């Protein structure tokens, strides 16, 4: 992608690689610049299976979206969505339910600009440029409250993003547990160094590639990733490598290391403490016409496969 003089992309620093575009490059997309491609090449040199891991992560996202629709969920909040090119949340959801609503959130202006261009004219999707660490701002955003009804279950995706979020990421997911109504889902995949150590040479190489981006890598242990599901009940098979989360075809291939994934059901009763400002705003917001729910004809069939 070469920015033209009036191109919105010319306003951002394109000589610095960026996680959204590195990932797009690993997936074979066309929304990257020279610095991103160089960083992706470095990653593949360090981890020859990096492209497979990115594809396996994307495939997990698709299975998790279908799983959500199997529970009649048609609202998706995709945090750290990246560039919603082929195989993204709204594409997967739309194949099963045409009026699925999706809000894409990313802190990267290029990812959000690409999303706005790709989604132009689609009344059921929107893009928000925001940092997910400020989750109340994300929930209160005008695009979020126009498209999502927080009195109905919502599937929140945090796929391949929280390893770019240092510090107490569990406080963000705990806030979501308080805000989301029962029946909602939390969908997470997260990079981990386990079973190797953080000082493993390959891990250090990967970490050094992302150190040159606005979002350095923050790997977590299996236990720390499990903590992110506090307030949610993990669906079977629990926290496993992305390729092992409810695969839809039989495979004897060895697990693809690097990413752990899980889906949590929000089952706790609603918080009795005062609900966050964002939730009350979401409840009071005028909403576009409620789309029809997933058709009964395909829901049981899907649910039977889950
Ligand atoms: C590896 S991409 C994952 C894209 C997508 N979720 C997927 O799995 O296909 C990670 C994305 O998270 C975004 N990101 C990183 N930190 C973020 C933050 N604090 N808030 C919002 N987005 C963030 C990056 O800009 C990037 O687009």
Same structural domain, 81 and 30: no
- Please determine, for residue 70, whether its predicted confidence score (pLDDT) is greater than 90: yes
Rounded Cα–Cα distance for residues 84 and 78 (Å): 10
Burial environment of residue 281 by CB neighbours within 10 A (0 to 12, 13 to 18, 19 or more)? middle
Strands (E), 139-274: 155-159, 185-191, 232-234, 240-241, 259-266
259-266 and 155-159 beta bridge pairing? unpaired
Same structural domain, 56 and 42: no
The total domain count for the chain is: 2
Same structural domain, 25 and 151: no
pLDDT band at 12 (very low <50, low <70, confident <90, very high): low
Same structural domain, 248 and 290: yes
Rounded Cα–Cα distance for residues 82 and 283 (Å): 27
DSSP state of 285: S
Model pLDDT, residue 223: 95
Beta-bridge partners for 155: 76, 185
Q: Examine residue 168 and state whether it is found in any structural domain, yes or no.
A: yes
Interval 123-171: pLDDT, tens: 999 999 999 999 999 999 999 999 999 999 999 999 999 999 999 999 9
Same structural domain, 121 and 256: yes
Q: How far is the CA of 163 from the centre of ligand 1 (A)?
A: 9
Q: How far is the CA of 250 from the centre of ligand 1 (A)?
A: 30
Model pLDDT, residue 59: 96
pLDDT band at 230 (very low <50, low <70, confident <90, very high): very high
Q: How far is the CA of 274 from the centre of ligand 1 (A)?
A: 30
What average pLDDT does the chain have?
84
Model pLDDT, residue 247: 93
Model pLDDT, residue 275: 35
- Please determine, for residue 289, whether its predicted confidence score (pLDDT) is greater than 60: no
> What CATH number does residue 226 fall under?
3.40.50.150
Which of 87, 64, 86 minimizes the C-alpha distance to 76?
64
Model pLDDT, residue 257: 82
- Please determine, for residue 277, whether its predicted confidence score (pLDDT) is greater than 80: no
Q: Examine residue 114 and state whether it is found in any structural domain, yes or no.
A: yes
Same structural domain, 191 and 278: yes
Q: Examine residue 133 and state whether it is found in any structural domain, yes or no.
A: yes
Q: Examine residue 1 and state whether it is found in any structural domain, yes or no.
A: no
Say which range, 62-71, 176-185, 224-233, 274-283, has the weakest mean pLDDT.
274-283
Same structural domain, 156 and 35: no
Say which range, 127-131, 211-215, 298-302, has the weakest mean pLDDT.
298-302
Q: Examine residue 3 and state whether it is found in any structural domain, yes or no.
A: no
Interval 240-256: pLDDT, tens: 999 999 998 887 788 88
Same structural domain, 147 and 205: yes
185-191 and 259-266 beta bridge pairing? antiparallel
Domain that holds residue 257: 51-305
Model pLDDT, residue 189: 98
> Are 161 and 80 within 8 A, CB to CB?
yes
Write out residues with Cβ below 6 Å of ligand 1.
Answer: 19-20, 23, 57-58, 61, 80-82, 105-108, 111, 131-133, 159-161, 164-165, 215
Q: What residue owns the CA closest to ligand 1's atom 26?
A: 20
Instruction: For tokens 């600009």, name the residue.
Output: 113
Q: How many residues does the chain have?
A: 306
Tokens of 286: 């005028």
Q: Examine residue 130 and state whether it is found in any structural domain, yes or no.
A: yes
Model pLDDT, residue 213: 93
Kindly report the pTM of this predicted structure. 0.85
Q: How far is the CA of 53 from the centre of ligand 1 (A)?
A: 16
Same structural domain, 38 and 141: no
> Are 100 and 116 within 8 A, CB to CB?
no
Q: Examine residue 55 and state whether it is found in any structural domain, yes or no.
A: yes
Within 8 A by CB and 6+ apart from 222, the residues are 192, 194, 239, 260
Same structural domain, 34 and 102: no
The ligand 1 atom nearest the CA atom of 111: 27
Q: Examine residue 2 and state whether it is found in any structural domain, yes or no.
A: no
pLDDT band at 116 (very low <50, low <70, confident <90, very high): very high
Same structural domain, 296 and 150: yes
Same structural domain, 66 and 165: yes
Q: How far is the CA of 291 from the centre of ligand 1 (A)?
A: 28
Q: How far is the CA of 50 from the centre of ligand 1 (A)?
A: 17
Rounded Cα–Cα distance for residues 269 and 257 (Å): 35
Q: To test the ligand 1 pocket, which listed residue (22, 106, 260, 261) has its Cβ within 8 A of the most ligand atoms? A: 106
101-106 and 125-129 beta bridge pairing? parallel
The ligand 1 atom nearest the CA atom of 20: 27
Stronger pLDDT, 203 or 282, i.e. the higher one: 203
Q: How far is the CA of 29 from the centre of ligand 1 (A)?
A: 15
Rounded Cα–Cα distance for residues 194 and 197 (Å): 6
């Amino acid at each position: 992608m070469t920015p033209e003089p009036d191109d919105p992309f010319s306003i951002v620093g394109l000589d610095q690689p960026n996680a959204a575009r590195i990932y797009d490059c690993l997936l074979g997309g066309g929304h990257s610049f020279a610095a991103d491609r160089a960083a992706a090449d470095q990653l593949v040199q360090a981890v020859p299976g990096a492209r497979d891991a990115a594809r396996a992560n994307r495939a997990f996202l698709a299975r998790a979206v279908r799983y959500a629709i199997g529970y009649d969920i048609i609202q998706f909040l995709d945090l750290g969505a990246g560039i919603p090119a082929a195989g993204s949340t709204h594409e997967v959801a739309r194949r099963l339910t045409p009026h699925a609503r999706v809000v894409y959130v990313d802190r990267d202006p290029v990812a959000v600009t690409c999303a706005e261009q790709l989604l132009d004219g689609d009344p059921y999707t929107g893009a928000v440029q925001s940092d997910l660490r400020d989750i109340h701002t994300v929930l209160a955003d005008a695009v979020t409250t126009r498209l999502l009804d927080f009195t109905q279950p919502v599937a929140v995706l945090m796929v391949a993003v929280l390893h770019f979020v240092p510090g107490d990421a569990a406080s963000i997911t705990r806030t979501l547990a308080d805000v989301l109504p029962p029946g909602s889902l939390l969908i997470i995949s997260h990079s981990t160094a386990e079973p190797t150590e953080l000082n493993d040479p390959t891990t250090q190489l990967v970490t050094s590639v992302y150190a040159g981006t606005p979002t350095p890598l923050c790997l977590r242990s299996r236990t720390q990733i499990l903590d992110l599901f506090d307030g949610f009940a993990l669906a079977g098979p629990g926290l496993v490598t992305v390729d092992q989360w409810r695969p839809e075809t039989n495979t004897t291939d060895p697990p693809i290391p690097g990413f752990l994934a899980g889906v949590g059901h929000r089952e706790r009763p609603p918080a009795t403490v005062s609900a966050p400002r964002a939730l009350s705003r979401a409840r009071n917001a005028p909403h576009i016409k409620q789309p029809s729910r997933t058709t009964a004809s395909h829901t049981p069939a899907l649910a039977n496969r889950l």
